[in-house]
Chain A
Amino acid sequence: MWLRNIQISNFRNFSHFELEFSPTLNLFEGGNAQGKTNLLEAIYCLGRGTSFRTSTDQIMIKWNRDTLYLSGEGEIEGNFHKYEFSLSRDSGKIRRVNSHKVSIGNTSYWLWMVVFSARDIRIIQAGPGYRRNFLDELLFFTSPGFSHIRFSFNKVLSQRNALLGLAGEKGGIEDKNIEVWDSQFLELGSKIIYLRLMILRKLESIFCDIYRELTGLNRSCQFIYSCSFFKEKNNNYSIEDIKEIFSSQLKKIRSKELKYRVSLIGPHRDDFKIIVSGIDQRIFGSQGEQKIASIALRLAEVALVREIKKEQPIVLLDDVTSDLDPPRERFLLEALKGKGQIFLTTVDLSRFYPEFLSDSLIFHIENGKVFTHGKR
């Protein structure tokens, strides 16, 4: 999987230009706030139809323009497809693959990209939503049908919450009205939890190996799914098991849900713990340990996609190595180099060892303009 070229118009601080990429290593070099990350974002947006930085799409349109446009050729399983993305202030975003409109949620034409950035530390230290999103993102790509399950679940959840929100008002709400949503809520919710348990187990063993190599320390690593309605120890449930417990717990907390007027249990309330040598990294990990764990987690993601899809994901590194010590930086780069396409931003090219830079294509970015420096 790789992106051969890109054409960019009116994206953030860029006006209009085209670039040809290398299937191996592409380096974006330049000072701060010149547009390096914007270029990564444009690449991601073309392959996926969303940004990895913002949930406000409009902000990607150049300030004095109405429409942004991206296009490029991406390779999946040996075939090139033409990708297009446009976003206008008036009519929203349109994604096309080979000139056919494709919905943003249609994962079969996603160019899979794994972004390494300084923000990744939030997956380790911030609220459960970041970890849920991390797992679900991985499932979008590795589990066909997951995007539909997740999308439908979110709809059922917001309908159910809207209904619960009416509790306490005039006649209150009748049980039969909630039950109408419960069957879909249980069905979809149980599938999501089951798929998360499965992917988490696979991710855990890969993470362990990577963590040991990255730190040089022989530590035990564990991922524990914290479900809102069953005990942490039980990570070996089947879908039927989950559904049964979910269903009986849902009945038990009905009165509580009516009191708080919100859906209190389900995959939207779940989390997972990253335990290293018995220590929960979220609560007790140092800043440095959390950083290492976040990098190991991204590397595990790359390895897992490779294993399941038999494809190399495209890797985007957003100035992520600058605060790593040299041996770990080297480990990270070597784990990625020579295995698929990489886009890397950096302020300082000289920090990389010469063998790493060999056979790379270098771009210099300055004030929204991109200059191709050619091959090393």
Chain B
Amino acid sequence: MYSIRALDNLIARLTRLPGVGERTARRLAFHILKQPDEEAIHLADAIKTVKEKVKRCSICNNFCENDPCSICKDERRDRTTICVVEEPQDVLLFERIREYHGLYHVLGGSISPLKGVNPEDLAIEPLLNRLKNGNIKEVILATDPDTEGEATAIYISRLLHPLKIKVTRLAHGLPAGGDLEFADEITLTHALKGRREI
């Protein structure tokens, strides 16, 4: 069968990306091949650099170039509130609405037995450690409004209950069964302001 090994290799790697099917991968691979050399090298470098330079913050588990991250280091932020989210992208969403000035904690996903994600696979233990020093007055559970996000919020709220810290959950009105990412800024602002104690 006709094939070019290096090209096949690139296509196979691209199909591993989320949302990229065989056909899209082929199109991207041929596009890269037809580009001037330096374009393709810049792309490869960018991928390499991001992997070398970007790390996890040892406090909040968000991505950062310098540990601790700029949010954790920022003394002007409200250091008594932690907003717990599933993914680093969710921090960007909250920062964009400019309504939240506290700290974050990135879990790195949500509980899902189907995908083999157990509570101990998430950054829940580090969250509990952060709460031990007694400075935190409120934990906002901002996991996704889907079944897995809901289950994760329930799990964490039960762990926090004995600690006597105020635990709140984003108000409904978010796209049901969805991803925080699909909420527009106004909806997210409402959800934040209308958060309720659980």
Contact = CB atoms under 8 A, between A and B. Distances in A.
Interface of A: 90-91, 148, 151-152, 155-156, 158-160, 162-163, 165-166, 176-177, 179-181, 183-184
24 contacts: A90-B24, A91-B21, A151-B177, A152-B146, A152-B147, A158-B114, A159-B112, A159-B113, A159-B147, A159-B148, A160-B113, A162-B113, A163-B113, A165-B113, A166-B113, A176-B158, A177-B155, A179-B158, A180-B111, A180-B152, A180-B155, A184-B147, A184-B150, A184-B151
A148 B150 contact: no
Contacts, number: 49
Interface residues of B, number: 21
A180 B22 CA distance: 38
Nearest to B159: A176
A365 to B, nearest CB: 33
A160 B150 CA distance: 13
Given A90-B23, A148-B176, A180-B155, A159 B150 contact: no
Interface in B126-175: 146-148, 150-152, 154-155, 158
Nearest to B19: A91
A215 B143 CA distance: 56
Contacts of B151: 156, 159, 180-181, 184
B158 to A, nearest CB: 7
Given A90-B22, A90-B23, A155 B147 contact: yes
Contacts of B111: 180
B155 A176 contact: yes
Residue of B114, B151, B152, B176 with most partner-chain A CB within 10 A: B151
B19 to A, nearest CB: 9
B21 A177 contact: no
Given A151-B177, A159-B147, A184-B151, 18 more contacts: A90-B23, A90-B24, A91-B21, A91-B23, A152-B176, A155-B148, A156-B147, A159-B113, A159-B114, A159-B148, A159-B151, A162-B114, A163-B113, A177-B118, A179-B158, A180-B155, A180-B158, A184-B150
Nearest to B152: A180
